[in-house]
């Protein structure tokens, strides 16, 4: 979009209709909207909602795998897992920074998460009882995240799109480490293979739910796609994920828990069974297996570490004066 408008004297500012036309032209030309550009309030609100939800997902998403940091089976696995969980913290930080360019306040967003006024991905409300869960999260959850996020590198909002580039590179690495871990377990004992299959059985359907409700029940999709925030519909991305993952499952030697999963000769894509959307709704309503635990921990992290923020703020003030 052209030069910033808000810092010009009022008399020189284009009227709202002209600004809207300029915004529409930028979107139509597939160019980026930048923080100092004028944007409709609905566009700003939608971005803050999605980016905050995404940031919260990265931060809450550290918990399920983080549970295994002290119990990883070797020093090598512990180092790998620690690096992955740290990457997720970094992704959260890029995303909160992108939200801040829209005028949001990070502490306020965290409060909204803890007060359950903002969402985070449904997938992080499931438990991780075995080490195979760490591998399956890498393979399926990071795999789904990549399918969803690669198109976001072309999102119309500049800071979000740019943040996604690095995030996607790291998620791609995470996906491979998960697959490598599972491959190693599948070459191990019968008990290890059973552990991998059990984890796949538990994570498959929740992974499909990560993409959001079906298109005909997705209130935000049409507008978000018209604004170029989202580039593909929820169902299209879910289908891409299935098409990408089924051959990987065959190489791994696991069975995906869906008897209706089969290639469709007409489309060349995989047909799959019905998703249990009542489970998704229950998880979003706060009644998943781990919702309370995830929020309680996030709240404790905020409260227990408040003194660090206060000390850093006091130190920064001291050096300003
Ligand atoms: N969970 O109208 P739509 C990761 C909500 S990062 C919870 O279709 P939209 C990395 C939605 O917010 C994973 N809520 O909404 C990692 C809306 O509610 P609202 C996170 C969901 O925004 C890996 C309502 O349902 N990724 O995994 C979910 O157009 C491993 C209606 O839905 C992102 O956030 C859900 N699954 O499309 C970390 C990517 N789905 O806000 C650790 C960016 C929908 O109106 C370990 N986000 N809802 O109250 C997006 O692409 C979109 O926001 C969608 C939803 C596609 C998630």
* Residues sharing a CB contact under 8 Å with residue 229, sequence separation 6 or more, in sequence order: 43, 46, 47, 50, 155, 156, 157, 160
What is the C-alpha separation between 279 and 284, in angstroms, rounded? 9
Atom of ligand 1 nearest to the CA of 211: 56
* Residues sharing a CB contact under 8 Å with residue 195, sequence separation 6 or more, in sequence order: 130, 131, 132, 185
pLDDT for position 7: 60
* 90-128 pLDDT per residue, tens: 999 999 999 999 999 999 999 999 999 999 999 999 999
Region 26-31 average pLDDT = 97
Region 271-275 average pLDDT = 98
**Cα of 184 from ligand 1 centre, angstroms:** 31
This prediction has a pTM of 0.95
Atom of ligand 1 nearest to the CA of 144: 27
Residue 260 scores a pLDDT above 50 = yes
**Cα of 150 from ligand 1 centre, angstroms:** 14
Q: Which of 121, 156, 178 to mutate to test the pocket of ligand 1 (most atoms within 8 A of CB)?
A: 121
Region 56-79 average pLDDT = 97
What is the C-alpha separation between 209 and 146, in angstroms, rounded? 14
* 125-172 pLDDT per residue, tens: 999 999 999 999 999 999 999 999 999 999 999 999 999 999 999 999
**Cα of 36 from ligand 1 centre, angstroms:** 26
Region 250-277 average pLDDT = 97
Atom of ligand 1 nearest to the CA of 138: 30
Torsion 11-15-18-22 (CA) sign: positive
**Cα of 142 from ligand 1 centre, angstroms:** 14
Atom of ligand 1 nearest to the CA of 237: 56
Atom of ligand 1 nearest to the CA of 218: 2
Region 64-91 average pLDDT = 97
What is the C-alpha separation between 161 and 12, in angstroms, rounded? 31
The share of the chain scoring above pLDDT 90, in percent, equals 94
| Coil/strand/helix, residue 291 | helix
Nearest Cα residue to atom 54 of ligand 1: 212
Region 309-320 average pLDDT = 93
pLDDT for position 158: 98
Residue 2 scores a pLDDT above 50 = no
* 43-61 pLDDT per residue, tens: 999 999 999 999 999 999 9
pLDDT for position 10: 61
Q: Which of 112, 113, 148, 212 to mutate to test the pocket of ligand 1 (most atoms within 8 A of CB)?
A: 212
218 lines ligand 1 (CB under 6 A): yes
Residue owning tokens 């998704």 = 280
* 179-221 pLDDT per residue, tens: 999 999 999 999 999 999 999 999 999 999 999 999 999 999 9
pLDDT for position 321: 74
pLDDT for position 142: 98
Average pLDDT, the chain: 95
pLDDT for position 234: 98
Token pair, residue 47, equals 């971005």
Residue 13 scores a pLDDT above 80 = no
234 lines ligand 1 (CB under 6 A): yes
* 224-245 pLDDT per residue, tens: 999 999 999 999 999 999 999 9
Residue 14 scores a pLDDT above 90 = no
Region 258-283 average pLDDT = 97
219 lines ligand 1 (CB under 6 A): yes
């Amino acid at each position: 979009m052209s030069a910033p408008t808000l810092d010009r004297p009022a008399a020189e500012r284009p009227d709202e209709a002209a600004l809207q036309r300029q915004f529409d032209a930028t979107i139509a030309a597939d160019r980026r909207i930048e923080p100092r550009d004028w944007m409709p309030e609905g566009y700003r609100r939608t971005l803050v909602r999605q980016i905050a939800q995404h940031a919260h997902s990265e931060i809450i998403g550290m918990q399920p795998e983080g549970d295994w940091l002290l119990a990883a089976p070797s020093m090598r696995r512990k180092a790998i897992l620690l690096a992955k969980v740290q990457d997720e913290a970094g992704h959260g930080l890029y995303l909160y920074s992108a939200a801040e360019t829209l005028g949001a306040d990070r502490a306020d967003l965290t409060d909204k998460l803890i007060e359950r006024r903002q969402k985070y991905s449904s997938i992080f409300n499931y438990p991780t009882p075995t080490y195979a869960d760490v591998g399956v999260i890498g393979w399926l959850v990071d795999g789904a995240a990549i399918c969803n996020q690669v198109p976001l590198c072309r999102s119309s909002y500049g800071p979000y799109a740019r943040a996604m580039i690095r995030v996607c590179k790291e998620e791609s690495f995470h996906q491979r480490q998960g697959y490598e871990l599972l491959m190693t377990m599948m070459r191990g004992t019968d008990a290890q293979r059973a552990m991998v299959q059990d984890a796949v059985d538990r994570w498959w359907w929740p992974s499909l739910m990560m993409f959001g409700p079906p298109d005909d029940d997705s209130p935000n999709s049409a507008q978000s796609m018209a604004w170029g925030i989202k580039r593909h519909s929820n169902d299209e991305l879910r289908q891409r994920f299935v098409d990408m993952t089924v051959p990987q499952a065959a190489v791994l030697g696991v069975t995906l828990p869906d008897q209706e999963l089969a290639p469709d000769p007409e489309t060349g894509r995989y047909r799959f069974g019905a998703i249990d959307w009542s489970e998704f709704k229950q998880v979003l309503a706060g009644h998943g297996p781990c919702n309370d635990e995830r929020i309680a921990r996030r709240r404790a992290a905020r409260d227990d570490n408040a003194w660090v923020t206060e000390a850093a703020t006091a130190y920064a003030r001291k050096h300003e004066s």
